[in-house]
Structure 1
Amino acid sequence: MDIAYQEDMILNDIIDACVQRMGWQIQSITPIRRGWLNLKWKIHTDSGIYLIKQYNRERFQAYDPAVLEQAFAQQIRLRASGIPAPQLITDGHTVWHTSALGERFLVMDYCEGEIIMPGMVNEAQLYDLGRITGQMHRLLNDNSLPVQAPPLFQPPTRDQRLQYWEQLYIQFQEEGHQIYLPIVEQQRQTTITMNMDILQTLRPGWAHRDLWTDNLLFYPDKVTAVLDYDRLNYDYPQLDIARAILSCVWDGEFDLTRAAAFMQGYREVHPHYNERLSVSLQALWYMESVWWIRTGMDKDSGPPVRFVREMSWLAEHYGVLDEIIDFL
């Protein structure tokens, strides 16, 4: 079936459900081409402007519905506590909506603001993002949620990770993807020299776990919305910090001034936070590198290509991150 035709069928099914249940009069519909597989639309109605997010049926199989329900409940709580999160619209008893043909979707208020290109977030925006991230972490870890053991990220041993890189190197050789061999070799060499002890210093807690530029909206001097809480779970909050800063300030070079602005805002909420940013970035690399440097990456475009560049830079500069970011 033609993809555009299939998307139109899904949209019409969802709109029928919204009109029936909410009494909307639809004025205009604009597709939002962001995100992976899940479909999104901006909907102008007689009662306001909303965003609809449809959950791709195939991708939904990877989710635990109970975990998603918990994440949405936290999104509602965070918004009620002042975090700029989209307001979820319920059908009276649940945030989940289901269409006549079985499409699962969310309805939320449409948030104003702009998505900033990776690496281009300014100093004032980063200060505000740091402050909001600090508030979010404080609220998520105020004992309202139970401590869960273990955290989601369970670091593999050095030998396990080396085996991954060695097998990937061989596979790329066999497939004729010579262009990726230096990238994989850099990852392997960095894994050999990595100080594995840093992974024992990570402090577990509840975190957003997807805090990067595509999930942030800004005005010129502040954050207007933190989006997409699907991945919220018990993990390592300092990896939120590393992911946000790397996404917002790195564009081939690491901008210390803007990174410091984020940390200033964060430490205004957590004045005793003393984890080193260099360690957080090193741990982020160890977690994420295998997500993006993998078989099939030759078919990637958009954000995954950016993530590969980030992981390559972190691996190349792993041994000198302490010197580059010595005061953060």
Structure 2
Amino acid sequence: MQLTSEDQLVAEIAVWLKKHLSAKMLSAKRVRRGLMNEKWIIETNMGRLFVKTYHPGRYRMHDPEFRNKIENALQLQLLFYQSGGPCPEPLSLEGRCIHILPCGRYMTVMTYCPGTMVPAGMIGEFRMHALGRAIADMHAAWDSAAALRLGAAVPQEEPLWRLSREEMNRTWEENWDAATDSSERVRSALQLQKAIIDSLGDDDFSPLAAGWTHLDLWADNLLFEGDALTAIVDFDRVRYSFPALDLGRAVLSGALNKSELHKDALIAFAEGYRSVLQLPTGSLLRAIKYVWCVESFWWILPSFESFSVAPARFVEEMIDTAKQWEQLDTLFGDI
């Protein structure tokens, strides 16, 4: 039976830490961010730890196949940490980073990383440069591990999020039909989305280079101290996909502010990335467009006006990008 009491979960975590890490819990501070999964900063006699338990209403951790995908993502996080990357270290037990409590709830335990989140759209040039370099370091570490055929880095499936014109049109039709009674703002956003879909050429659907991808690089998953990036966090969504998606997601979250995508921040990000890996001119713009083609169907929905703060931000990113779609090549094609 799944326990739902916070006190019960904390008590079981304390016993687990003592048994497996010889760490005595001194205090537990709940981190109330994110959807459903419970998170704590744990003070112990051996230092601070970060603990996350996976809520059964959010993740299907009882499904071995799904659980193995999360485990693999955490193993890739560990590879990045071991390469010197700025991220927490997942603590493994018998080679695994996912652990189970007596109540049946799954959890992961990590080292604590200092730093604070910067609001979306306000990350700034120096931080964007640091972020671009760190993302390139992450991609390079995973590419090297894959080339060496290291366990978690060996691709296990076809890359996620290939674009399909047929799928995009079908999904749009479903949303349009469902938006009959929606507001003018919703229907206008859907009409703009359809105009962009119709404008896409065959080259827009050609696949990008595949590789391991974080897939959740938005402001809430980045920690900074001053202009320095101290940590990329929340690797649960890492999958074999298209690393360019990380670039597009990061710049939309970091550099789109008050409907304006700030070019100086994009240039700084690209320079940071290029200090580690190649990024041909125009690649960042294509990454932004590819992210829009994938994510606009997650967020431009008939119900988007009722979204909470974080999803509402993503809706704004999709609509603001769509509104300047025809100018994107002129504005950012030379980066």
The TM-score normalised by the length of structure 2 is 0.89
Q: Specify whether residues 169 and 7 from structure 1 end up closer, same or farther in structure 2 by C-alpha distance, changes over 3 A only.
A: farther
| Separation of aligned partners in 2, 1:151 and 1:267 | 24
State which of 108, 111, 120 in structure 2 corresponds to 1:118. Answer: 120
**What is the RMSD of the two structures over their aligned residues, measured on CA atoms?**
2.1
Shift of 1:304: 0.6
Is the CA contact (8 Å cut-off) linking 1:17 and 1:100 kept in structure 2?
Answer: no
Structure 2 match to 1:227: 233
Is the CA contact (8 Å cut-off) linking 1:172 and 1:178 kept in structure 2?
Answer: no
Q: Which moved more, 1:107-116 or 1:162-171?
A: 162-171
Shift of 1:178: 4.5
Structure 2 match to 1:304: 311
Structure 1 match to 2:186: 180
Shift of 1:147: 4.6
Structure 2 match to 1:81: 83
Q: Specify whether residues 15 and 7 from structure 1 end up closer, same or farther in structure 2 by C-alpha distance, changes over 3 A only.
A: same
Alignment of 1:6-155 (within 5 A): 6-61=5-60, 64-142=66-144, 143-144=147-148, 145-147=153-155, 150-155=158-163
Is the CA contact (8 Å cut-off) linking 2:270 and 2:279 kept in structure 1?
Answer: no
Unaligned runs of 5+ in 1: none
| Separation of aligned partners in 1, 2:56 and 2:127 | 36
| Separation of aligned partners in 2, 1:292 and 1:121 | 22
Q: Specify whether residues 266 and 6 from structure 1 end up closer, same or farther in structure 2 by C-alpha distance, changes over 3 A only.
A: same
Q: Specify whether residues 14 and 299 from structure 1 end up closer, same or farther in structure 2 by C-alpha distance, changes over 3 A only.
A: farther
Q: Which moved more, 1:190-199 or 1:252-261?
A: 190-199
Alignment of 1:276-287 (within 5 A): 276-287=283-294
Is the CA contact (8 Å cut-off) linking 2:142 and 2:212 kept in structure 1?
Answer: yes
Q: Specify whether residues 56 and 294 from structure 1 end up closer, same or farther in structure 2 by C-alpha distance, changes over 3 A only.
A: same
1:240 aligns with 2:246: yes
Query: Number of aligned pairs?
Result: 323
1:289 aligns with 2:296: yes
| Separation of aligned partners in 2, 1:147 and 1:13 | 35
Shift of 1:166: 2.8
Q: Which moved more, 1:186-195 or 1:164-173?
A: 164-173
| Aligned partner of residue 76 in structure 1, secondary structure | helix
Q: Given residue 124 of structure 1, which amino acid in structure 2 is its aligned partner?
A: F
Q: Percent identity?
A: 29
Structure 2 match to 1:163: 170
Structure 1 match to 2:197: 191
Q: Which moved more, 1:310-319 or 1:197-206?
A: 197-206
| Separation of aligned partners in 1, 2:215 and 2:40 | 24
| Separation of aligned partners in 1, 2:39 and 2:135 | 25
| Separation of aligned partners in 1, 2:280 and 2:235 | 24
| Aligned partner of residue 260 in structure 2, secondary structure | coil
Shift of 1:194: 2.1
Deviations 1:114-171 (A, max 9, x none): 11100111211111111111111111112133355631112122x4323322331221
Deviations 1:27-82 (A, max 9, x none): 22211112222110111111100110111113221772222222222211111111
Q: Given residue 173 of structure 2, which amino acid in structure 1 is its aligned partner?
A: E
Q: Which moved more, 1:83-92 or 1:227-236?
A: 83-92
Shift of 1:187: 0.9
| Aligned partner of residue 191 in structure 1, secondary structure | helix
The TM-score normalised by the length of structure 1 is 0.91
Is the CA contact (8 Å cut-off) linking 1:190 and 1:316 kept in structure 2?
Answer: no
| Aligned partner of residue 120 in structure 1, secondary structure | coil
Shift of 1:18: 2.5
